[in-house]
Structure 1
Amino acid sequence: MSQAMIAVFLFFSTMVFASSQQSLQMPYKDSEFTCLSASEADKYTRDFGVDVRSFGGKELCDAQVDTKKLFNDIKIVEGGQFAEGQNNLIKGFVNKSQYYDWLKEQTRGIERGNDIPWATAYNSGGYFTMQDGWAKLSTLGRVGTFIHEARHTEGYRHISCRQGPYQGVSLAGCDSNYNYGGSHAVEMEYYARVSVQGINFHPVYKKMARLMAIARSNFVFNTAVLQPREAVMALSENRTQAHVYDQGQWFIREVPAVEGRLKRTSFGAVIFNGLAAFAIELYQNSGFPDAIEDTYSYYKLMGETQNIKDFEEFDSGVKRHVVKIGNNNKLAEFDFPQGSWGSEKSLPFSVAKLSTAVPGNVKAGLFLVSTEGKIFNYVPESQQLVSQPGQWDFSNQEVVTFKNQNLILRNDGKIYVQSGESLQPWLQTENLYSGLVVVPVYDAFEVVKE
């Protein structure tokens, strides 16, 4: 495998559990694609050298068979239409009207395998091997994988990461910068085109494209391509919408109809219920209520974890960390180089919740709150807990840091700003809320404020 160019998607698989109504656009769910004709399947097989037997045999209708999944992906590539439109992720690495022909030129063959289980797919001299992780992806994730691998055929390779979860390890998983035009950039450009220029893509597919572009672009390039700012997101009392305060304006975003706690992620926010996390997309509403499971941030690791009491993805400097608290009251941090959870550490107290801020301290971090109200700061570099002064007031639902101030959501549903020892209503808002986070808003996409 020394000659193989392995595209390790590093757990950025995209599994979507959602439902949508039939629309005029191309479908985004495998189950909504119609049967292919035998002639279409034969054409795709010839054009891309598909080893049909390795994918489960020739299948025209049933997307439970991996062959049909691959055919669905090729159908999306062949049928996708793009208009004009500007975006700082669109550089013209691939001609927008020639994705099918370009992929055909870069693909000598495609087979199904499971010889490198920690990879989603790899490219060896133009021959792509789709791993088990590939089969778990959404249509968008699989198309992105296809495009990513094709760029490797042209000689583009990855280098070690200087930031993100793989910072400081030898694994080659990043590109030096966006203008290098490597596999990451070509993949991100496709997502941006779907969102900004796409004509006949389903609105949920376009939403997923924005989520994927943001989640990956913010760490796979050693020179930052996106610039973030911070905004406040508050979940309405009836949990039917999110109110976002950004650059002096409020706007509304659709939220998944699921129970759980509002949490910050590297791409924005999720609703976390202890079993899964469902994405909230910041840039525009799709008009569809489909609950999109988060497989963009590292909340995706919940799919491999059971019995979770709390979970947090957070950055410390340039390094990204993921920590879980189990129902057994043990703490573990994910070991990215090893691709598995580190050893569990028993805690000498019962954890009530995790918080990224505490009252009176405007420095964000990760704090454990005990059921007795004691507060401990988790130091990821040493994996030690440091006791903090004061007690947690359990009439505080959430505490966040925004613009060097603590905002506090109280049990009365109102948001307050801390001023010394006192609390004052924040922005005089009369709305009542059930969740509060500070979210990153990146300059990759326009924020449609409605």
Structure 2
Amino acid sequence: MSSRTKKMMFCSTPSHHHQKVLDPPPSTVNATNFNTVLELKQIHALLVKTQSHHSLPLTRVVLICALTNHFSYAHKILHLSPNSQELFPWNFCLKHFAEGESPHDAITLFRRLRQMGTPIPDHFMCSFVLKACTRVSDIQTGRIIHAFAVKLGLTANLVLQNMIMHLYAVCGEMSDARLMFDKMPQRDVVTWNIMISQLVKAGDFRVAYGLFCVMPERNVKTWTSMISGFVRCGKSEEAVGLFLEMEREGLMPNEVTVVAVLAACADLGDLELGKSVHQFADRSGFHGNVHVCNTLIDMYVKCGCLEEGYRVFEAMRERRTVVSWSSMIAGFAMHGYGEKALELYDEMIGSGVEPNHVTFIGLLHACSHMGLVEKGREFFATMTRAYGIVPRIEHYGCLVDLLSRAGLLKEAHEVIINMPMLPNGVI
């Protein structure tokens, strides 16, 4: 069979003359109906045998072959396809892996493609592999992609530059990320946001705020990163100040901003602003966001409005998480409603939600205020035995408080002596 005849089966728009000559017998070949390489080969053979005008979907061919390690077969099919842009199907496959549940497969596929000598990578291929590298923190392959980008002259692509810088930052290579940032001839708001948010995550708030102050254009993500950063480092007053400045700039907060500001209000006990943010969240439709609701509960509890916090908790119903339950249990315990805290714990277990270390801090507080020594001892033991939670210093502090309040000073002293960590001032 001639090379020209072999290629006909890939033509998606054959001439009318060819269609008459090459149409298969009455049964129509479904060239897309394959899920394995064996099925693909059977359809491929049938297309060749019948000299069909039907075409194989190249993106599906490479995807099936990549999943089953049949790269060379897919490579041959692509070469037989007339006017085929060989990179496109492979890029489709790389994108599928990089954005799906198997980013490692994208990196493996890229390495195999380089071994096979496929056409020179373009900026799409580099970006898909970089996305996979970022998801799995593969800095080694990321550096190879960076080298490719420089060698092939792709560094003029701002999206690609941002992705490379983001990879370095995510992998903890902040010096490399900053060097790249400083050398970039062009930056957009994404460039600045990547640098600021990653500096905040690394705990370098001073440098992050310095960049924030000189940034030519800020968006909601920029403000939110800095507000969250200030809250995280215990500077809640600065966070609130920045939020009010953001409002004066006329920018609309998003759900992440609301969570950060509510956390700052909880730290400061700023009930007035907290209520105002709550009203804004309701007007904006954020009341369905679990993180917003959980932070609202925590804010109201810490500001002394237990009833308002419980109202938010009740409205959540099916959307409650362990954070929702734990915040409410801690709130009841903190305000002297120990029995209600224990009732809520039983309800939580009955609903199938597993407690975490914060839940047990609230329960131990409740037992301490109610003088329930045996119940407190039981919770302390259950925490490790049933849920595998290693007690932290806060749990030991609650236990010492429980025993001391009950007059069991000798036992409390023994707990302090046998603690796996040094006691703090509270204990």
TM superposition score normalised by structure 1: 0.24
Bigger relative contact order, structure 1 or 2 (CA pairs below 8 A, ≥6 apart) = 1
Task: Give the structure with the higher percent strand.
Answer: 1
Q: Which of the pair has more CA radius of gyration?
A: 2
TM superposition score normalised by structure 2: 0.25
